[in-house]
């Protein structure tokens, strides 16, 4: 599943991203404080006592964080971060355990969080972070003065509990741009170069759907990839969305913005959506066989597209996003407090999430850094993507990350409420129910939660 539904979602935000960027920009030029102290700190601490106690650390991740080529045997990873850390810290042996997808990791995480048995360092995804935050007392506090200013503010905010403990070291984020097919735009008689498309789509969702309608009228074909994908883009801009931040109560049904977005989307999706489920067989096939012209894409989606549409030559990226910015995906490294080597594990999490390392991980697997300092790193700044007609991914996504607003509050019930509504959208897509009847079912489901 879970690669899918679990991925959908939560927006992170670049918080007061501009401030963060400025701060990080300054510090990285003369005194890259967070990074060196992290890297150097770990190394220096070991060199004096070279014959320190040998420790074996386990690191558990999922998908492709870009640490070591065992993640993708056929991909060519330039850097081996695991080996690099072991070389710098001869007393440390790392056992790297990677699960195929986030859902597997989530099940494993919650099964072992209480009784023990988790890895020393565990990766947690943005989608289940709200659930993890309920148990923040079982995870080690990573707060450290040397880490101040390392991450985008929103990345820190989402991993800080109400006692001010930081329980996750941010790895990547997913600022979204718009990926599109230039030949299909051309066919519809619309601008097809990245700048032209960015102009076209610059505006709110109403503008986005207007363009979609133009496209549909000209070609008779669907405009966007899936109703679910667009919904996650829209809902992540609504704050508060489903739950009240103070009381934790579900307010989704009393929130007129939620229903308005639902109505806006269902009105447009009739013509403009492929009516395909995100991550379904047909959706993957659609990337190649002209089923749709645009999709909202975070950096990690680029690999999904190029992997599924190898024969399409006209995919491109427009540096734009409807109604501002949006984030899809991203993770943290956490350290379970009942582990055997909490201190060593903290050092590893610290090192792996330093800007230098995250820039290398980006070069390996395209996981976009949550550390503004890394955006200056040539590995990120000069990155481009050949499949997307040499789009300058490094600069496009740095712009997109700046446009992301603080993430709306997501509580315990976020996932269940969101599932009820995306199910409603799917029913409309499938023709099972009319929009209103489908919404009524969602109302029943949401009232049943809790």
* Cα 264 versus chain centre, distance: 25
Going across the sheet that includes 169-175, the strands are 92-99, 55-62, 121-125, 327-334, 169-175
Residue 422 makes contact with other proteins by CB under 8 A: yes
CA atoms within 13 A on the CB side of 225: 28
**Encoding tokens for residue 197?**
């498309």
Question: Which one of residues 427, 435, 439, 446 is an interface residue with other proteins (CB under 8 A)?
Answer: 427
Residue 113 makes contact with other proteins by CB under 8 A: yes
* Phi, psi torsion values for 224, nearest 5 degrees: -110, 165
Candidate ranges 18-26, 273-281, 345-353, 384-392; the one touching other proteins (CB under 8 A): 273-281
CB of 418 to other proteins, least distance (A): 12
Q: In whole angstroms, give the CA distance from residue 385 to residue 374.
A: 18
* Residue tagged 């509504």 (tokens): 421
CB of 441 to other proteins, least distance (A): 8
Element spanning 58, H or E: strand 55-62
Residue 338 makes contact with other proteins by CB under 8 A: no
Candidate ranges 25-33, 52-60, 148-156, 275-283; the one touching other proteins (CB under 8 A): 275-283
CB of 279 to other proteins, least distance (A): 4
Confirm if 420 and 406 have CB atoms less than 8 A apart: no
* Residue tagged 């801009």 (tokens): 237
Residue 135 makes contact with other proteins by CB under 8 A: yes
Candidate ranges 173-181, 379-387, 403-411, 415-423; the one touching other proteins (CB under 8 A): 415-423
Confirm if 123 and 61 have CB atoms less than 8 A apart: yes
Question: Which one of residues 67, 151, 185, 279 is an interface residue with other proteins (CB under 8 A)?
Answer: 279
**Encoding tokens for residue 450?**
């809790």
Candidate ranges 31-39, 150-158, 277-285, 398-406; the one touching other proteins (CB under 8 A): 277-285
What is the residue-wise DSSP string for 389-435?
TTB-HHHHHHHHHHHPPPPPP--TTHHHHHHHHHHHHHHHHHTSS-H
CB of 334 to other proteins, least distance (A): 14
- Does the CA dihedral 266-269-271-277 come out positive or negative? negative
Residue 140 makes contact with other proteins by CB under 8 A: no
Residue 39 makes contact with other proteins by CB under 8 A: no
Residue 423 makes contact with other proteins by CB under 8 A: yes
Question: Which one of residues 22, 47, 107, 313 is an interface residue with other proteins (CB under 8 A)?
Answer: 107
Question: Which one of residues 91, 213, 280, 389 is an interface residue with other proteins (CB under 8 A)?
Answer: 280
Residue 219 makes contact with other proteins by CB under 8 A: no
The CA–CA distances, whole Å, from 383 to 180, 254, 299 equal 19, 44, 12
Q: In whole angstroms, give the CA distance from residue 59 to residue 158.
A: 22
Residue 431 makes contact with other proteins by CB under 8 A: yes
Residue 138 makes contact with other proteins by CB under 8 A: yes
Residue 277 makes contact with other proteins by CB under 8 A: yes
- In 3-state terms, what secondary structure has residue 18? helix
The CA–CA distances, whole Å, from 195 to 104, 177, 407 equal 40, 13, 28
CB of 410 to other proteins, least distance (A): 15
Q: Between 255 and 280, whose beta carbon lies closer to other proteins?
A: 280
CB of 284 to other proteins, least distance (A): 9
Residue 54 makes contact with other proteins by CB under 8 A: no
Residues at the site binding other proteins, with contacts judged by CB under 8 A: 1-5, 107, 110, 113-115, 131, 135, 138, 276-277, 279-282, 285, 415-416, 419, 422-427, 430-433, 441, 444-445, 448
């Amino acid at each position: 599943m879970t690669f899918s539904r679990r991925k959908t979602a939560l927006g992170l935000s670049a918080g007061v991203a501009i401030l963060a960027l400025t701060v990080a920009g300054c510090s990285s030029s003369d005194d890259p404080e967070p990074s060196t102290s992290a890297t150097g700190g770990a190394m220096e601490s070991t060199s004096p006592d070279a014959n320190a106690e040998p420790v074996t650390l386990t690191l558990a991740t999922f998908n492709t964080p870009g640490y070591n080529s065992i993640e993708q045997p056929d991909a060519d990873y330039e850097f081996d971060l695991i080996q690099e850390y072991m070389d710098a810290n001869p007393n440390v042996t790392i056992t790297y355990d990677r699960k195929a997808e986030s859902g597997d990791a989530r099940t494993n995480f919650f099964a072992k969080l209480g009784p023990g048995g988790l890895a020393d360092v565990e990766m947690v995804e943005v989608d289940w972070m709200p659930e993890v935050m309920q148990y923040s007392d079982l995870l080690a506090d990573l707060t450290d003065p040397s880490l101040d200013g390392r991450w985008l503010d929103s990345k820190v905010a989402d991993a800080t509990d109400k006692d001010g403990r930081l329980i996750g070291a941010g790895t990547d984020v997913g600022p979204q741009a718009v990926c599109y097919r230039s030949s299909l735009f051309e066919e519809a008689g619309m601008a097809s170069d990245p700048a032209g498309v960015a102009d076209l789509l610059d505006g709110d969702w109403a503008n986005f759907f207007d363009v979609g309608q133009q496209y549909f009228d000209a070609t008779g074909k669907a405009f966007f990839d899936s109703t679910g994908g667009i919904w996650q883009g829209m809902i992540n801009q609504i704050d508060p969305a489903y739950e009240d931040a103070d009381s934790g109560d579900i307010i989704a049904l009393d929130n007129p913005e939620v229903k308005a977005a639902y109505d806006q989307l269902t009105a447009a999706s009739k013509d403009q959506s492929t009516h395909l489920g995100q991550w379904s067989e047909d959706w993957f096939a659609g990337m190649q066989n002209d089923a749709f012209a645009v999709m909202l894409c975070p950096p990690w989606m680029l690999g999904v597209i190029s992997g599924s549409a190898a024969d399409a030559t006209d995919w491109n990226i427009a540096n734009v996003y409807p109604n501002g910015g949006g984030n899809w995906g991203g993770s943290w490294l956490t350290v379970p407090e009942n582990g055997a080597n909490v201190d060593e594990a903290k050092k590893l999490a610290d090192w792996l999430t330093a800007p230098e390392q995250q820039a290398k991980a980006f070069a390996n697997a395209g996981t976009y850094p949550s550390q503004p300092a890394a955006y200056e790193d040539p590995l990120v700044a000069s990155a481009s993507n050949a499949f997307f007609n040499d789009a300058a991914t490094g600069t496009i996504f740095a712009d997109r990350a700046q446009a992301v607003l603080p993430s709306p509050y997501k509580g315990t019930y976020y996932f269940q409420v969101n599932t009820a509504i995306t199910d409603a959208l799917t029913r409309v897509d499938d023709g099972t129910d009319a929009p209103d009847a489908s919404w009524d079912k969602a109302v029943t489901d949401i009232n049943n939660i809790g």
